[in-house]
Amino acid sequence: MAAILAQDLCKTYTGGFRSSRETVALNKLTLDVQEGEIFGFLGPNGAGKTTTIHLLLNFARPTGGSASLFGRPVTETAVHGRLGYMPESVNLHDYYRGRKLLNFYAGLVGIPRESCSAQVTELLNLVKLEDAADKSVAKYSKGMAQRLGLAQAMLGDPDLLILDEPTASLDPVGRKEFRDILVELKRRGKTIFISSHILSEVESVCDRVVILQKGELKRMGTLQELSAGKVTLFRVRSLPAPVIEALAAIGAELTLAHDAATIRCKDEPLQGAVSETLRQHGVEIVEMEVEKQSLEEIFLSAIDEPAAS
Amino acid sequence: MRTTFLIAADSIRSLLHRRLLLGLMLASLALTVAFSTMFSTARMNMDEGFIDRYGSDSKGGGAGKLSASDKREMREQMEMASSYFQTFFYVVASFGGSLVALFIFSTAVTSEIRKGTIRLTLSKPVSRTQFLLGKYLGGVVVMAGYALLASAAMLAFAYSEEFELSPAMQFAPWLMFCRQLMLGSVAMLLSLFCPPIVAAVIAFFAGNGFYSRYNPLFYILPSYGDFDLWSEVLTGNLLRASDVGYLTLYAADFVAIMLLLATWRFRTKELT
pLDDT score of B60: 47
- Answer yes or no: are the C-beta atoms of B149 and B89 closer than 8 Å: no
pLDDT recorded at residue B40: 67
Q: How far is B33 from chain A (nearest CA, A)?
A: 30
Distance CA B193, CA A4 (A): 32
CA dist A259 and A93 (Å) reads 69
Nearest to B117 among A58, A78, A91 (CB): A91
pLDDT of residue B66: 64
| One-character DSSP codes across B137-193 | HHHHHHHHHHHHHHHHHHHHHHHHHT-PPPGGGGTHHHHHHHHHHHHHHHHHHHHTT
Question: Chain B residues with CB inside 8 Å of A107's CB?
Answer: 2-3, 6
A107 contacts B126? CB cut-off 8 A: no
Sequence-distant (6+) residues with CB within 8 A of A298 are A211, A219, A226, A227
Cα(A175)–Cα(A179) distance, integer angstroms = 6
Report which of A231, A246, A309 is spatially closest to residue A276, judged by C-alpha positions: A246
Q: Between chains, do B119 and A110 touch, taking CB under 8 Å as contact? A: no
* Low-confidence residues in chain B, pLDDT < 50: 58-62
Going from the C-alpha of B27 to that of each of A91, B30, B91, the distances in angstroms are: 31, 5, 14
In this complex, the residue of A60, A91, A110 whose CB is nearest that of residue B125 is: A110
Answer whether 0.80 is exceeded by the pTM: yes
Q: Do B125 and A61 touch (CB under 8 A)?
A: no
Q: What pLDDT does residue A309 have? A: 46
Q: Across the interface, which of B14, B117, B123 has its CB nearest the CB of A57?
A: B123
Give the residue from B116, B270, B126 showing the smallest Cα distance to A83. Answer: B126
**Residue ranges of domains in chain A, CATH in brackets:** 2-226 (3.40.50.300), 231-291 (3.30.70.980)
- Please answer yes or no on whether A108 and B125 come within 8 Å at the CB atom: yes
Residues of chain A short of pLDDT 50, as ranges, are 309
Q: Is A161 helix (H, G, I), strand (E, B) or coil?
A: strand
Contact assessment for residue A166 and residue A86, using Cβ atoms and an 8 Å cutoff = yes
B129 touches chain A (CB under 8 A): no
Question: Phi and psi dihedrals of A110, rounded to 5?
Answer: 95, 20
d(CA B123, CA B121): 5
Q: Which residues of B touch A90 (CB under 8 A)?
A: 120
pLDDT value, residue B191: 94
Q: Quick one: angle between helices B2-16 and A98-109, nearest 10?
A: 150
Give residue-wise pLDDT tens across range B80-116: 777 777 777 778 888 888 888 999 999 999 999 998 8
How is chain B split among helix, strand and coil, in percent rounded to 5?
A: 80, 0, 20
**Amino acid letter at B178?**
C
B123 to chain A, any CB pair closer than 8 A? The answer is yes
Distance of alpha carbon A8 from alpha carbon A288, whole angstroms: 40
Q: Residue B239: enclosing H or E segment and its boundaries?
A: none
Q: Whole-angstrom Cα distance, residue B175 to residue B241?
A: 12
CA dihedral A222, A224, A225, A229 (to 10 degrees): 140
- From the list A51, A59, A104, which residue is nearest B119 (CB)? A59
DSSP category for residue A306: P
Q: Are strands A208-213 and A38-42 parallel, antiparallel or unpaired?
A: parallel
Specify the pLDDT at position B65: 61
pLDDT for B58 equals 47
Residues of chain A contacting residue B13, judged by C-beta atoms under 8 Å apart: 95-96
Strand order in the sheet with A2-14: A22-34, A2-14, A64-69, A72-73
Q: Dihedral angle at the C-alpha atoms of B88, B92, B97, B98, nearest 10 degrees? A: 100
Contact assignment for A93 to B124 by CB distance below 8 Å: no
pLDDT value at residue B43: 66
Asked if the C-beta of B19 comes within 8 angstroms of chain A's C-beta atoms, the answer is no
A59–B270 CB contact, under 8 Å: yes
Beta-carbon separation of A80 and B272 below 8 A: no
0.90 surpassed by complex ipTM: no
Q: Does A72 touch chain B (CB under 8 A)?
A: no
Amino acid identity, position B30: A
Give CA–CA dist B1/B7, Å, rounded: 10
> Cβ contacts of residue A15 below 8 Å, gap of 6+?
A21, A22, A23
